């Protein structure tokens, strides 16, 4: 593609996406090369980069160019491109981790032509793959978490507060704590997650949010506890890959749900059952210690 064609393509893409950000202040637009092959790649790239009212990515599979529009007071181009790299797609600033790239479907496994300090690289700030050597003029590895503990700590703290409200059989408090958790889930910046956390996060975020919102909208303690059991499954998956500043205890109640049982996470090893409260406060046991 010659330079004139590329400019025309960029203008066309930017115009097609401008309406989505017409009311956003502090708007910045960029065009970046992101490698990929197909419509599945397009969906994955745009899903990883998009943040409602904050960032929008429009990727063209024929040119492998993306128009990126974002509020520069709420996010940065690097944050957007890191999320895309963590989803498995090399771009001019960050390279996907090798293990994430290897898990892409056959149709999505593009040719990895971008390298650190490649001539197409913007300002030389390339994210290295695991097999590349680190140098002083390169950005840190995509596998190195940035502010990892603080980024996820709020989620676990709100979860524990919700658990405590259920232990007290306080439906109103549980609803309020679930709203806090829901807001914390929406505030997570995926670019600050490690590769392992990001992989799990992409699988569980939707269910975590749905269950937290379900609890927040209910005043029925039984319904809240049902949703909490599902919520706890996702929190356990996240807890296994998340680095916290203290141990987390994975605990089990064998009596709940007609003897089928249910699990939860706790900051303390002492059993305080959120599914029965004072009726069977100490029913259960610790089955695993995380961290």
pLDDT tens for each residue of 231-258 = 999 999 999 998 888 899 999 999 999 9
- The H or E element containing residue 10 is helix 3-18
Q: What is the mean pLDDT of the chain?
A: 83
In this predicted structure, what is the pLDDT of residue 15? 54
Sign for the CA dihedral angle at 65, 52, 81, 159 comes to negative
Give the model confidence (pLDDT) of 265-286 as tens digits: 999 999 999 999 999 999 999 9
pLDDT score of 149 more than 80: no
CATH topology of domain 3-108: Alpha-Beta Plaits (3.30.70)
**Strand 55-60 relative to strand 27-33: parallel, antiparallel, unpaired?**
unpaired
| Paired tokens of 95 | 């390279």
Local confidence band at 260 (pLDDT 50, 70, 90 cut-offs): very high
In this predicted structure, what is the pLDDT of residue 199? 86
Residues 6+ positions from 22 with CB-CB distance below 8 Å: none
| Dihedral-angle region of residue 117 (phi above 0 means left; psi in -120 to 50 means alpha; beta otherwise) | left
Cα(285)–Cα(271) distance, rounded to whole angstroms? 7
- Burial class from Cβ neighbours inside 10 Å (0-12, 13-18, 19+) for residue 30 reads middle
In this predicted structure, what is the pLDDT of residue 151? 75
State the pTM of this model: 0.56
- Burial class from Cβ neighbours inside 10 Å (0-12, 13-18, 19+) for residue 154 reads middle
| Paired tokens of 192 | 């600050």
Local confidence band at 9 (pLDDT 50, 70, 90 cut-offs): low
Cα(57)–Cα(16) distance, rounded to whole angstroms? 11
Lowest-confidence segment of 7-16, 36-45, 197-206 by average pLDDT = 7-16
In this predicted structure, what is the pLDDT of residue 137? 35
- Burial class from Cβ neighbours inside 10 Å (0-12, 13-18, 19+) for residue 4 reads exposed
Cα(26)–Cα(9) distance, rounded to whole angstroms? 24
pLDDT score of 25 more than 60: yes
In this predicted structure, what is the pLDDT of residue 193? 81
- Other CB atoms within 10 A of residue 49 CB: 28
pLDDT score of 112 more than 60: yes
* Strand intervals (E) in the chain: 27-33, 55-60, 65-71, 248-253, 262-266, 285-290
The three-class DSSP label of residue 29 is strand
CATH of 148-290, one of 3.40.50, 1.25.40, 1.20.120, 1.10.10: 1.20.120
Domain ranges in the chain?
Answer: 3-108, 148-290
- How many angstroms separate the Cα of 24 from the Cα of each of 30, 105, 195? 15, 35, 30
For the residues 101-110, what does the mean pLDDT come to? 92
φ/ψ of 116, rounded to 5, equals -55, 135
């Amino acid at each position: 593609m010659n330079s004139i064609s590329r400019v025309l393509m960029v203008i066309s893409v930017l115009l097609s996406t401008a309406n989505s950000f017409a009311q956003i202040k502090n708007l910045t637009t960029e065009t970046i090369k992101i490698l990929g092959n197909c419509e599945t790649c397009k969906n994955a790239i745009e899903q990883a980069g998009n943040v409602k009212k904050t960032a929008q990515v429009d990727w063209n599979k024929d040119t492998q160019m993306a128009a990126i529009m974002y509020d520069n007071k709420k996010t940065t181009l690097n944050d957007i491109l890191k999320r895309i790299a963590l989803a498995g797609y090399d771009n001019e600033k960050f390279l996907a981790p090798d293990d994430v790239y290897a898990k892409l479907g056959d149709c999505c496994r593009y040719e990895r032509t971008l390298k650190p300090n490649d001539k197409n690289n913007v300002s030389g700030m390339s994210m290295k793959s695991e097999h590349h050597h680190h140098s002083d003029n390169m950005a840190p590895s995509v596998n190195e978490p940035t502010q990892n503990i603080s980024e996820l700590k709020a989620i676990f703290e709100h979860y524990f507060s919700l658990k405590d409200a259920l232990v007290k059989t306080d439906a109103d408090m549980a609803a309020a704590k679930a709203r806090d958790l829901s807001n914390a889930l929406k505030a997570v910046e995926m670019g600050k997650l490690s590769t392992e956390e990001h992989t799990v996060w992409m699988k569980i975020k939707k269910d975590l949010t749905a269950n937290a919102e379900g609890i927040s909208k209910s005043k029925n303690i039984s319904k809240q506890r049902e949703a909490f059991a599902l919520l706890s499954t996702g929190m356990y998956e996240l807890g296994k890959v998340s680095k916290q500043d203290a141990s987390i205890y994975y605990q089990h109640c064998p009596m709940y749900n007609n003897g089928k049982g249910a699990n939860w996470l706790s900051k303390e090893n002492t059993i305080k059952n959120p599914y029965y409260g004072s009726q069977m406060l100490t029913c259960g046991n610790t089955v695993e210690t995380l961290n």
